[in-house]
Amino acid sequence: MAERIPLPGEEHEVKLTRSLGLVAATMLGVGAMIGAGIFILSGLAAGTAGPAATVSYVIVGFMTLFTALSYCELAAAIPIAGGGYTFVHEAIGGFTAFITGWSMVFGLVVSAALYSIGFAEHFTPLVELALPYTLNRAVAAATLIILLALLNIKGTKEAGHTQTFLTLGKVAILVVFVILCFRFVEWERFDNFAPFGTLGVLAATSLIYISFFGFEQISDAAEEVKNPEKNVPRAILLALAIPTIIYVFVIMVSVGIIDFEVLGEAPAPLAIIAAKVLGGYGLFFVLIAGVLSTVSALNAAVLTTSRVTYAIARDGFMPWFLARVNARFRTPHWAIAATAGLAIIIAVIGEVRSVAHLTNFCLLFALVVVNFSVIMLRRRRPELKRPFRLPFGYLIPALGIASNLLMLLFMEWNTYLLGTCYLAAGGLVYLAYSKGAKRTLERERVIRYLMAKQARKEYKILVPVGNPDTMKSLVTVAAAIAKKFDGEILLLSVVEVPYYVPLERGVARAGDFRSQLMLAEKICEREGVDDVKRMIKISHRLSHGILETAREENCNFIVMGRVSRRTLGDRLLATVIDAVLDDAPCDVAVVRPGADDLTDVGRILVAVSGSSNSRLAAELAPAFADRFDAKLRVVTVSGAADEFGVPRYTARNLLDEVVCDVECRRGFERDVLYAEEVTEALMAEILPKDLIVLGARKGGAWEQLLFKSVPEEISERVDNTVVIIKKFTPVRRGRLERLLSGTAAP
């Protein structure tokens, strides 16, 4: 899951970071689309429309584009789990949202059943090629569903790069299949291009629509996609275009080699073609591709269905136990088990054609409502930020509605009957259970919201804790700032996992960091700060986890720690931290603990200049004076005065201007130090028990690496605790600097 709702009684929250880039998100959709649709439904489409099935695939690709564009706008505006159901819930709500989710869950469950049937049709011949055994197809399909359900409950789903590798592998096999088979195409088979006329073409479009529905799964994973406002729409459009091109060429060589009547009766049409023109090796590789495609598509279907079920239950429309998350594996185990069980029943008793039509009925109905939600959301929430906004007003979602309604017209009567009965059953469930449960949940949420609003602090300070040597100083500084602004402290531990390891693996290590968080929380309590929240973030990079948490939690301040930069390696590490500071979405304090560890502070020494960083340092200094019951001294350094006294006069004016914003109940001293060397002047002023507060120097990562600033040089030369303050200012840096800091993907 991209985000887990904490269970009652939990004291901290564990989140996953956004780890899917554009390529990984695109491959998620492509992997879901290239599954049973091409390996099974292509034969049924050929038997329904003849060689004109190629036109059916083009039509479906074009008609699906309207719905895909609607998803682009919705997913960019609402990048949270639940996909189409969540969009309808935000735009319309009530019974409409419930019946949409009800339809999508069943449609996705039936899709999972279809993928399992496709797996059985390719896996059993593959086993029979190697072993003298005949497997029962229903047992093989059910076994695969159970295994993938267990894997999803355990949380060991494919990492983004693994999904990309598998998808590219099966795409490559299909491309090679088309290239090798193209020379065997008998073009005279296309003379009777549309033996069943226009109705046959349209009927085939309705049958194969399930093959184009994989792009929706990208929106379900939107919470795990980096920069979802841009990458989700791009991934959806790419995931629609790539399979469409592959589909057209595969069906072209299929009907050009085998009679369409034979393809219509074949459970695995591509395997028959490969056996005919490529021999045993061709059949083997096509069966392998079929197994890979159906397994990855089924895994994605199980994952997606459980997320939608989880979202519906989370909103109160289904029993709450379906929204519960396993305390150990952090997955919605009951939702996975329920949807997998229903998929097994359909796979065992279902028939491919009726299963495909019933899936399309449920999904087409839901997609009509999803397209309509674009219109409703624009009317009800015009102020909502829409990074991807469709042109031409309501034209595109209206065309999406019309396209899906048109496809609904070409279905068998028993499909309408079964689908209507299912929707009616959903209506009864809503009236008998979901409506009341939703109302009760909303009342409880309103009460919790009002209570939380009264207790919530508007100022939030993020403290990444990881180094025991700096923890006490960090928390002490953060507590002083929290008292000044009447704010809360967010204690963060970041679990780093390698890029080639799935983020879920880091969940098992979360327990190792809880003791640190609990110790930091006790320090907060001793400092008199009761509003404390603990969080564990799982990320591929420490800096990325800190910055993403600061943005997601709307933090006002970050308090970080670091050691002195004694060696070149230390300087390089500190430069990484400095570069991260430039990307921080809020003010930052970097604490270099001294030998006393803030146990005996006699005076707060603040050096100011005209920069915004030093001004903020002066504003915060009284909070430290109050915390340590210490004197406050504010100084600035100026060069020697000329005969007119200009530098002396300017320095005094600057000091007066800065201290106007300083509010200290104990009073404070202020003075101008006249010297040519700023560092030496400040060093002469420092006493052994001083807490030194300085403003950070401006400059990029490379400048900070090559040259020492006054604050950095002082922090390395003294044994006192030094706090360096940086005020938030937007900075645009080069890609090399962002790559160095971990704020750009390598």
Q: Domain of 84: which CATH number?
A: 1.20.1740.10
Q: Is residue 553 part of a domain?
A: no
Q: Of 296, 21, 302, which is closest to residue 170 (Cα–Cα)?
A: 296
What pLDDT is attached to residue 500? 62
Tokens of 308: 């939608």
Asked if 693 and 620 count as a contact pair (C-beta separation under 8 A), the reply is: yes
Could you give the 3-state DSSP secondary structure of residue 632? Answer: strand
Q: Of 314, 390, 403, which is closest to residue 1 (Cα–Cα)?
A: 314
> How distant, in Å, are the alpha carbons of 73, 187, 229, 314, 731 from that of 378?
11, 50, 17, 25, 33
Tokens of 355: 């299963």
Asked if 352 and 114 count as a contact pair (C-beta separation under 8 A), the reply is: yes
Last residue of a domain, one of 348, 374, 409: 409
What is the arrangement of strands in the sheet containing 669-674, beginning at the earlier edge strand?
Answer: 12-16, 532-539, 488-496, 460-464, 557-561, 587-592, 722-726, 690-695, 603-607, 631-638, 669-674
Could you give the 3-state DSSP secondary structure of residue 725? Answer: strand
Q: Of 156, 18, 20, which is closest to residue 545 (Cα–Cα)?
A: 18
Q: Is residue 402 part of a domain?
A: yes
CB atoms near residue 335 (< 10 Å): 28
- How far apart CA 51 and CA 45 sit, in angstroms, is 9
- How far apart CA 624 and CA 604 sit, in angstroms, is 7
What pLDDT is attached to residue 559? 93
Q: Of 544, 538, 533, which is closest to residue 507 (Cα–Cα)?
A: 538
Last residue of a domain, one of 387, 409, 431: 409
What pLDDT is attached to residue 693? 92
* Full DSSP string of 270-329: HHHHHHHHTHHHHHHHHHHHHHHHHHHHHHHHHHHHHHHHHHHHHTTSS-GGGG---TTT
- How far apart CA 232 and CA 22 sit, in angstroms, is 7
How long, in residues, is the chain?
Answer: 746
Q: Domain of 687: which CATH number?
A: 3.40.50.620
Residue 157 has pLDDT above 50, yes or no: no
- How far apart CA 691 and CA 701 sit, in angstroms, is 26
Q: Is residue 391 part of a domain?
A: yes
Residue 276 has pLDDT above 90, yes or no: no
pLDDT-derived band of residue 18, with 50, 70 and 90 as boundaries? low
Burial class for 421, CB neighbours closer than 10 Å (0-12, 13-18, 19+) = exposed
Q: Is residue 451 part of a domain?
A: no
What pLDDT is attached to residue 226? 72
Look up the domain containing 623 and give its range.
593-722+735-746
The label of the residue with tokens 């695109």 reads: 26
Higher pLDDT, 568 or 184: 184
What pLDDT is attached to residue 163? 57
What pLDDT is attached to residue 492? 92
pLDDT digits (tens, 9 = 90+) for 58-69: 888 888 888 888
Could you tell me the sign of the dihedral formed by the alpha carbons of 342, 345, 346, 352, in that order? positive
CB atoms near residue 441 (< 10 Å): 15
DSSP state of 191: S
What contacts 387, CB < 8 A, 6 or more positions away? 76, 77, 229, 230, 233
CB atoms near residue 6 (< 10 Å): 11
User: How many domains, in total, are found in the chain?
Assistant: 2
pLDDT-derived band of residue 691, with 50, 70 and 90 as boundaries? very high
- How far apart CA 647 and CA 653 sit, in angstroms, is 10
> How distant, in Å, are the alpha carbons of 1, 30, 48 from that of 274?
39, 23, 22
pLDDT digits (tens, 9 = 90+) for 510-530: 777 888 888 898 899 888 888
Neighbouring-strand partners of residue 692: 605, 722
> How distant, in Å, are the alpha carbons of 211, 374, 583 from that of 588?
50, 40, 11
Mean of pLDDT values over 210-226: 70
Half-sphere exposure of 219 (CA within 13 A, CB side): 27
What pLDDT is attached to residue 168? 77
Q: Is residue 449 part of a domain?
A: no
In three-state form (DSSP H/G/I as H, E/B as E, the rest C), the secondary structure along 434-497 is: HHHHHHHHHHHHHHHHHHHHHHCCCCEEEEECCCHHHHHHHHHHHHHHHHHHCCEEEEEEEEEC
Asked if 252 and 181 count as a contact pair (C-beta separation under 8 A), the reply is: no
DSSP state of 376: H
- How far apart CA 258 and CA 270 sit, in angstroms, is 10
Q: Is residue 475 part of a domain?
A: no
Q: Is residue 126 part of a domain?
A: yes
Average pLDDT over the chain, rounded to an integer: 77
Rounded (5°) CA angle 602-607-611: 145
Residue 2 has pLDDT above 50, yes or no: no
- How far apart CA 46 and CA 52 sit, in angstroms, is 8
What pLDDT is attached to residue 578? 58
Mean of pLDDT values over 715-726: 88
Please give the model's pTM, rounded to 2 decimal places: 0.57
Mean of pLDDT values over 402-409: 83
What pLDDT is attached to residue 214? 73
What pLDDT is attached to residue 433? 81
Helix then strand then coil, in percent of the chain rounded to 5, is 65, 10, 25
Q: Is residue 237 part of a domain?
A: yes
Last residue of a domain, one of 376, 409, 442: 409
Burial class for 429, CB neighbours closer than 10 Å (0-12, 13-18, 19+) = middle
The label of the residue with tokens 């399930």 reads: 210
